[in-house]
Amino acid sequence: MISLDSLWERGKTFLNVKYPIMCGAMTWISESSLVAAVSNAGAFGCLAGGNMEPEQLEKEIERTRALTDKPFAVNLITLAPNYPRHLEIAIRQKIPFIIFAAGIPKSSEIRRAKDSGAKVLAFAAAESIARKLIQRGADGLMLEGSEAGGHIGHVSLTILLQQVLFAVDEVPIFVAGGIGTGRLIPYMLLMGASGVQLGTRFVTTEECKAHPGFKAAFLKARARDAISTPQVGSELHVVAVRALRNKGMGRFTDLQMDLIQKRRAGGISQADAQYEVEKFWVGALRKAVVEGDVEYGSIMAGQSVGLVDRIVPLRDLIQNLVEEAEKELCRIRDRMQPL
């Protein structure tokens, strides 16, 4: 008989956890206390490197280790200015899992990470990228659909499942984007996923230190309120961000127009313009998460925000996800019985 334990055994073994349910790395949110709480509850926490000061990242790693002896990951943004130093810190600290995000890491970077004893995961947006990452030494892959919150790609999870999950079986694959209930988990596992990643749902836990106003915005929002940010032209190579619609969205449009005009007039370089775009989101996100400015800050959230209706203890969330998954698997087995 198919059981939940058997379906996600590969993910459990790979991550060395009770439940291969990952809490996504969310800047300003996935800090040491939340990461440790997730790992202590039997799931898998991911510390968000973002572009924080290297010294701060090292402190966050040390704080996480002081709060848990369970496995966790450090998520590194390959496009962040502080990325090279972040990678050095993760290697020196012998982090058990390193997740490369927002770009394709070099073979040498993956090799250095693995030589430190870490297992390496990276995000794949197509089968060709998945195979390139595996060739370079990645131990596991992440598939994140555009339904997710924060910086996103352009492809939905349902397409990524068919393009990548159905085509690649050499390494464990963890899926994310739009997953908000435990009922969906067994379907992902039956299709071949080794585990799942959620982000938005973990924001509305008691252990999350985000501002109460930030959490309140999640509780009020509907799925359609989590929109992908507009891109003015193609000159700035803007990476889409999914967040709740507010006045800050308008400011971002104005910023793009201003930067494009300055670049055309020779008043700013392409690199500096790109930096200003990312600086906007770093500052806007802090305004919302830390200061509670939900009018002009960035309320990054996935479309699963429409499935959130209350703030719960983190352990209750994980337990509910597992119980929902088990009940749904029972329903699947019943439907599979011959009439």
Confidence of residue 61 (pLDDT cuts 50, 70, 90): very high
pLDDT of the residue at 1 = 74
Question: Amino acid identity of 229?
Answer: T
**What pLDDT digit, counting tens, does each position of 255-272 carry?**
888 988 998 888 888 888
Q: Which domains does the chain have, with CATH numbers?
A: 4-209+309-336 (3.20.20.70), 212-289 (no CATH)
Lookup result for tokens 């919150």:
149
Q: Cβ-count burial of 222 within 10 angstroms (0-12 exposed, 13-18 middle, 19+ buried)?
A: exposed
**What pLDDT digit, counting tens, does each position of 202-246 carry?**
999 999 999 999 999 999 999 999 999 877 777 777 778 899 999
Rounded CA-CA distance 61/32 in Å is 7
Q: Is the pTM of this model over 0.85?
A: yes
**What pLDDT digit, counting tens, does each position of 304-332 carry?**
999 999 999 999 999 999 999 999 999 99
Mean confidence (pLDDT) of the chain: 94
Under a CB-based contact definition with an 8 Å cutoff, are residues 182 and 329 in contact?
A: no
Reduce the DSSP state of residue 227 to 3 states and report it.
strand
Q: How many residues does the chain have?
A: 339
Confidence of residue 274 (pLDDT cuts 50, 70, 90): confident
pLDDT of the residue at 339 = 53
pLDDT of the residue at 81 = 84
Category of 177 on φ-ψ map: left (φ > 0), alpha (ψ -120 to 50) or beta: left
**What pLDDT digit, counting tens, does each position of 157-195 carry?**
999 999 999 999 999 999 999 999 999 999 999 999 999
Rounded CA-CA distance 267/256 in Å is 14
Rounded CA-CA distance 123/103 in Å is 8
For residue 8, what are the CA distances in angstroms to 3, 22, 73, 135, 177?
Answer: 9, 13, 19, 24, 18
Under a CB-based contact definition with an 8 Å cutoff, are residues 303 and 147 in contact?
A: yes
Rounded CA-CA distance 56/53 in Å is 5
